[in-house]
Amino acid sequence: MTAIRRAEVTWTGSLATGKGAVSAVTSGAFSGLPVTWAARTESSDGRTSPEELVAAAHASCFAMSLSGGLGRAGTPPERLDIAAAVTFDKQDAGWRIVSSALTARGVVPGMSAEDFEAAAQAAKDGCPISVALAGNVALSVDATLEG
């Protein structure tokens, strides 16, 4: 089944001094989140950025991919804590997302640390957001089995 998700932004003003508001149209989960250029390149000051939204998408996609892989291996997780740190930096070609670094902490009864690391690497390589970013953005995962 094909899924289409929609978000919308209204922007006013120039890039440097303007501002926008982004909303999740499909789900209605958020609306009117403030976004500015300064939130991308300086301090967020309570505003979001496309990169923060990419980090949220990558962390949640990776969590689902890792949970699915662990479950298929017969070791469903009791808990996963996932973080994504997306780096936005000025390059010769202009501003670019240069990396997305995932951190995975998991409580997975019956699994070894080595198997958890392997499952995390597979999830990093296989989650749809990673696949979309691959070849353009450096991807990494730091995985730790807890408990």
pLDDT digits (tens, 9 = 90+) for 99-145: 999 999 999 999 999 999 999 999 999 999 999 999 999 999 999 99
Amino acid at 89: D
Question: What's the pLDDT at 147?
Answer: 78
Output the pTM of the full model: 0.94
Beta strands in the chain (DSSP E): 7-12, 19-24, 33-35, 79-91, 94-107, 138-146
Give dist(CA 16, CA 18) in Å, integer. Answer: 6
The residues near 38 (Cβ < 8 Å, ≥ 6 apart) are 45, 47
What are the residue ranges spanned by the domains of the chain?
7-41, 50-146
The closest of 76, 69, 70, 64 to 102, measured between CA atoms, is 64
- CATH fit for domain 50-146, picks 3.30.300.20, 3.40.50.2300, 3.40.309.10, 3.30.460.80: 3.30.300.20
Residue 100 · residue 139 · CB < 8 Å: yes
In sequence order, the β-bridge partners of residue 99 are 87, 138
